[in-house]
Chains A and B, each alone.
Chain A
């Protein structure tokens, strides 16, 4: 196998498409596809519009402040920039990395303009939901989450300046382990109902809306966790026929307790080489999709994985040509399906 490949810079954006599209000089075309406006360009002089992001007004006239496309929704006029950092919205499922441990809160990097905030009161602490937050919790914050830890969370709300406040108050959120982190441009992620997926090959993926992606071994593959879960379930079901007060509740708390401690563990489970190989293949596939600037969805990721099986070693997927060929396959397959 080749040790090294050196190619010429891909001036692909520059040369290939520029000659084909007719370049208008400065005037905005009112064609079907949205036209580009640039900073300082007059968008409208109608004062009735409400000005949204990407615009500013001067003397009743609205100008664009970014290079992007105009969006007119109801009475709101805004310009969406062509490129930009991730902007959080309430309800977004994101993956983040802890950067700072502070006064009753953590600062989490989610790839946005500012770090997000995760309040101590917004996480599940070991001992159950109804546990009172004590002072020792504040001092022990690093035992739960420390600098460098990865977690997935939901954006609970936004501050005035646009930065996010996160929460992990659900068992599907929390510290991440047993896997590998990949960063792709946030503009390629489509907001969907569900961002956690099960992929063929016993892999789970969390595609954060912010472009931070986490591949991991599917949790149920873990025998010890399964065993404890079964034990709890068995206890619950056996208790249903001859109910004694307090019996069910004891096992529920213990279930919560166990899963909570597991959630803050730093120790990985045993991961077989086949699973590791699958994870590397998937991560190379998502990087290929990102390189081809294709919007990332679960279907496309699985399609890319299947297309990649043509290459025996996933290491071939780091080459630009291979990435582009896989991207083309996916686009063509979608076009054919109509």
Chain B
């Protein structure tokens, strides 16, 4: 995004103030309002779509496939496609990596086990139709919703197939399907937050212009228990990145801890909503 030097210094100075002034007057812990819809793809086990007020949009689909547990290296595969970017570009590979690694380390693959030989493999396909700021936060929220609303077909064949190998068969009755993440489970999928650093201040969900003038950025993971790994720094603008102080790290940690709980609550209430499943 092109900004004039005057615009840059205006934005930077506003953000570096104590207390900071964000260009849309949000508080440092405030997200931009989102629109979300779920379960609009009948051919996928789970689907979710989130759109921001500036037009950024992401659609995530979760599909399952029965595999021989021994034959696969991982039971969750994430694939990210960003409109306008090559699939092998650094930008897309990095996004893919972050989402994949947090799911690899913080997802109970035990729920995917069907029998002693077979398991479900789930494919999380993300499509970013449009993005203005770094889309990792958007991707993470949409992925959370898609996973929360995913249901898998119910196994009707024998669970114990040690002796006799048997291809798993499933109930045709979709009402019998089980949610991937049971409602009574304590587990919630992990989230990733993007934080921008300007001066001594940190901001959650930075907009494109805030990113442009930021001096540094962070990617921070969150789960119900609290802040988890990763806790990486990332350069959000293509200008020179300034170093980070311990102060930034502490502030960002507190910020994510504060927001994380509310974000989870908001997402969970969307996931519970049984209302009409239209995409728009």
Contact = CB atoms under 8 A, between A and B. Distances in A.
Q: Do chains A and B touch in the complex (CB under 8 A)?
A: yes
Nearest to B262: A3
B6 A318 contact: no
Given A4-B266, A11-B278, A318-B24, A268 B6 contact: yes
Given A6-B36, A267-B6, A268-B9, A283 B31 contact: no
A7 B275 contact: no
B241 interface: no
A184 to B, nearest CB: 13
Interface residues of B, number: 45
B266 A6 contact: yes
B34 interface: yes
Contacts of A147: 2
B254 interface: no
A149 to B, nearest CB: 5
B23 A10 contact: no
Interface in A1-27: 1-11, 14
A258 B53 CA distance: 43
Nearest to B258: A3
A9 B51 contact: yes
B172 interface: no
B13 A271 contact: yes
Contacts of A178: 6, 10
A150 B6 CA distance: 9
A276 B14 contact: yes
B32 A318 contact: yes
Given A148-B2, A318-B33, A5 B266 contact: yes
B78 to A, nearest CB: 22
A306 interface: no
Contact of A318 (B14, B26, B259): B26
B123 to A, nearest CB: 25
Contacts of A6: 33-36, 50, 266-267, 269-270
B234 interface: no
Given A6-B270, A318-B32, A180 B25 contact: no
Contact of A4 (B11, B37, B262): B262
A4 B255 CA distance: 13
Nearest to B5: A266
Contact of A150 (B7, B13, B273): B7
A9 B33 contact: no
A181 B30 contact: no
A273 B16 CA distance: 11
Interface of A: 1-11, 14, 97, 99, 147-150, 175-181, 266-268, 271, 273, 276-277, 280-281, 283-284, 287, 291, 313-315, 317-320
Interface of B: 2-7, 9-11, 13-14, 17, 21-27, 29-37, 50-51, 53, 204, 258-259, 262-263, 266-267, 269-270, 273, 275, 278-280
Given A3-B266, A4-B263, A7-B36, 13 more contacts: A4-B259, A6-B34, A11-B280, A149-B5, A150-B4, A175-B6, A268-B6, A273-B17, A280-B23, A284-B25, A291-B53, A315-B30, A318-B25
